[in-house]
A and B are shown apart, each in its own frame.
Chain A
Amino acid sequence: MSPPTETPAREPAPAESAPPPVVAPGAVEETPLRRIAADFAESRLAVAGLALFLAILAVAATAPLISPQNPYDLAQLDVLDSRLEPGARSGDGKQTFWLGTDDQGRDMLSAIFYGLRISLGVGVAATLGALALGLTLGLLAAFLGGRADTFIMRVADIQLSFPAILIALVLLALLGQGVDKIIVALIAVQWAYYARTVRGAALVERSKEYIEAATCLALPARRIVFRHLLPNCLPPVIVVATVQVAAAITLEATLSFLGLGLPITEPSLGLLIANGFTYLLSGKYWISFFPGVALLATIVSINLVGDQLRDVLNPRLQR
């Protein structure tokens, strides 16, 4: 977008101001956000992923409204309807079980909607919590420097060198079962990624001139950190957060599958899959298969979006 070049050997411009630059009629100003959105949309796969994720989010949010049956209301279940194949009709002929039923007569489709709700809820809540904790600690480390910095980063590094599943396993073995305990375990496992990322970005930004200017203006430290430093450290953090939501959902599903995660009163997709494990060998695959597909769709869509975001925001691959 360079200004039009002037022809050489021209007499100096007249005393009146030069004519304003010509803008094509209907052109839209290109802000950074628009550029990122345009780059993102270059990959059809990523856009498809985003659409799928938004659809899943909508389903999870409206689960009680759109499910044909409330699978956790015992009055609506009939154990004679158990283990029916996909597409079968219930004993009283009133409903069709599009994805079959499990061993207690619950409609799989409804169970999957409710399960998605819980899985997504726990995943997002844990990510937000880890984000808050990690951002605060990372920014503190970058801003304070010195001993605090070394200590916080050492703890984060040690934690990152152990696999998440082990830390979560130990925490849950000590804390017991429950939604809040699982969220605590997931936060404890994930805060270190955010802390490291934001500290790296903050260290780079801290030496830039706008921070120096803000310091010269004697703005309070809190304002400098949260209003000036933080927004400029966000791009890598957003990428990490997107991928970590998927990781949180997978970890929660794995822990539920192993029997250590959410209790049976709030079953997530992992527990549904675990329920179906025993029926796999007798050919009743749908009890495990369909919740797995739902889990897969969620994770793949989030990963597609996160992948493209990372490519778009990566300065090394800039065209």
Chain B
Amino acid sequence: MLVYVIRRLLQSVVVLLAMSLLVFVGVYAIGNPVDILINPNADQEDIERAIKGLGLDKPLWEQYFVFLRQALAGDLGKSFAFNVPAIQLIVERMPATIELATAATLIAIVFGLPLGLWAGLKPRSAAGRTIMAGSILGFSLPTFWVGLMLIMVFSVHLGWLPSSGRGPTTPLLGVPVSFLSWDGLRHLVMPATNLALFNLALVIRLARAGTREALVQDYVKFARAKGLSNARIVGVHVLKNISIPIVTVIGLQFGSLIAFAIVTETIFAWPGMGKLIIDSINVLDRPVIVAYLLIIVTLFIVINLLVDLLYSVLDPRIRLADART
């Protein structure tokens, strides 16, 4: 187990370095580095001063080490558009995105598991078939179109929910959150549901497939022969066995949710990291792009590592197999 953890940590560091190299090469070598890092509106003197100051006259590998050293110290450049350190911009917007992603994950699990279980227990019933048809829709519907339709129905026609923005936030342990106030929740519902749809469909399908496979297993037959009630068989035995793959998939999807939040945040004007990156790409604010990519890559690597560890903790078969080797 320990060997596994150490090996994974080393792998993660290698991946992080490789990604930083790719990002560096992408931004510094493709395209003109002068335009990328220095405000193109500066005049010639300032440009030359900036080139010396940024070390752009040094060879590429030396620049890469400077970049790494600065990155490790927490300095990833200053945004052109806002003239504040890029890291600060991103850290300011992170809570909004994380809140959205967490709300979406909760919706997916709370609604997806029961629906998927039901579809698995009664696959040929009308309800089962409807749930499955619904899940195919859920994962074929493009996120951005659903967002538009949600706005059309709930904001324009019915007028129940606000169509954009985050609304008033209340501070929780110093971090502004939306779910603690009624108005904040009204703003949170539509974007979170929009983001959750794909994962909801995924959880429903996984739960259904897992239930169908679990129900023909010997332990379920044995439990029935023992006389256990249906509720206990499903609620305790089947549920535990199908949870492992679902939890790991959801965990891995959390990173994906943060990435997909880009689309949802653009449609609902939710002030998170995703909207920041799109705006930055549109105005070519490359320090922010670089900072975002590095932070996201780090986040992903951490999430993947945690999920892998969680998987080996939850599934005793993996733990025992590891112990035997």
Residues on A facing B (Cβ under 8 Å): 45, 158, 161-163, 165-166, 169-170, 173-174, 246, 250, 253-254, 257-260, 270, 273, 276-277, 280-281, 283, 285, 288-289, 292, 295-296, 299-300, 302-304, 307, 316
A304 to B267 CA separation, bound complex (whole angstroms): 28
A264 to B264 CA separation, bound complex (whole angstroms): 22
B320 interface hit (Cβ, 8 Å)? no
Taking a contact as CB atoms under 8 Å apart, the answer to whether A161 and B262 are in contact is: no
Sample of 8 more A-B contacts, CB < 8 Å, known A165-B260, A257-B263, A292-B145: A158-B18, A163-B260, A258-B278, A280-B152, A281-B155, A300-B137, A304-B136, A316-B213
Known contacts A258-B263, A288-B148, A316-B213, A163 near B140 by CB under 8 Å:
no
| Distance in Å: Cβ of B124 to nearest Cβ of chain A | 12
Fill in one digit per residue for B279-299: 1 if any A CB lies within 8 Å of its CB, else 0: 001100000010001001100
Q: Given B145, B267, B281, which contacts A296 in the complex, CB threshold below 8 Å?
A: B145
A246 to B293 CA separation, bound complex (whole angstroms): 27
User: Which of B144, B156, B163 counts the most chain A CB atoms within 10 A?
Assistant: B144
Which residues does chain A contribute within 8 Å of B213, judged by CB atoms? 316
| Distance in Å: Cβ of B84 to nearest Cβ of chain A | 21
Which residues does chain B contribute within 8 Å of A161, judged by CB atoms? 252, 255, 300, 304
Which residues does chain B contribute within 8 Å of A277, judged by CB atoms? 148, 267
Which residues does chain A contribute within 8 Å of B31, judged by CB atoms? 174
A254 to B260 CA separation, bound complex (whole angstroms): 10
Taking a contact as CB atoms under 8 Å apart, the answer to whether B255 and A158 are in contact is: no
A246 to B137 CA separation, bound complex (whole angstroms): 12
Instruction: Offer 14 A-B interface pairs, CB within 8 angstroms, sorted by A.
Output: A45-B133, A158-B15, A161-B304, A162-B297, A163-B255, A170-B26, A170-B293, A253-B142, A257-B263, A273-B144, A277-B148, A289-B152, A299-B140, A307-B136
A7 to B155 CA separation, bound complex (whole angstroms): 78
Which residues does chain A contribute within 8 Å of B145, judged by CB atoms? 273, 288, 292, 295-296
Taking a contact as CB atoms under 8 Å apart, the answer to whether A254 and B136 are in contact is: no
Taking a contact as CB atoms under 8 Å apart, the answer to whether B136 and A300 are in contact is: yes
B86 interface hit (Cβ, 8 Å)? no
Which residues does chain B contribute within 8 Å of A299, judged by CB atoms? 140-142
Q: Given A254, A280, A296, A304, which contacts B263 in the complex, CB threshold below 8 Å?
A: A254
Which residues does chain B contribute within 8 Å of A45, judged by CB atoms? 133
| Distance in Å: Cβ of B106 to nearest Cβ of chain A | 20
B215 interface hit (Cβ, 8 Å)? no
Those of B88-110 within 8 Å (CB) of chain A: none
A257 to B263 CA separation, bound complex (whole angstroms): 9
Which residues does chain A contribute within 8 Å of B26, judged by CB atoms? 170, 174
Top 8 A-B residue pairs of the complex, sorted by shortest distance between their CB atoms? A163-B259, A163-B256, A292-B145, A299-B140, A300-B140, A166-B259, A303-B140, A257-B144
Chain A residue nearest in CB terms to B27: A174
A185 to B87 CA separation, bound complex (whole angstroms): 27
Q: Given A173, A289, A302, which contacts B289 in the complex, CB threshold below 8 Å?
A: A173
A303 to B213 CA separation, bound complex (whole angstroms): 22
| Distance in Å: Cβ of A296 to nearest Cβ of chain B | 6
Fill in one digit per residue for B123-136: 1 if any A CB lies within 8 Å of its CB, else 0: 00000000001001
A284 to B225 CA separation, bound complex (whole angstroms): 61
| Distance in Å: Cβ of A309 to nearest Cβ of chain B | 13
Q: Given B139, B262, B297, which contacts A165 in the complex, CB threshold below 8 Å?
A: B262
A276 to B148 CA separation, bound complex (whole angstroms): 10
Which residues does chain B contribute within 8 Å of A170, judged by CB atoms? 26, 293
Q: Given B143, B148, B300, which contacts A254 in the complex, CB threshold below 8 Å?
A: B143
User: Which of A276, A289, A299, A303 counts the most chain B CB atoms within 10 A?
Assistant: A299
Which residues does chain A contribute within 8 Å of B304, judged by CB atoms? 161
| Distance in Å: Cβ of B18 to nearest Cβ of chain A | 8
B30 interface hit (Cβ, 8 Å)? yes
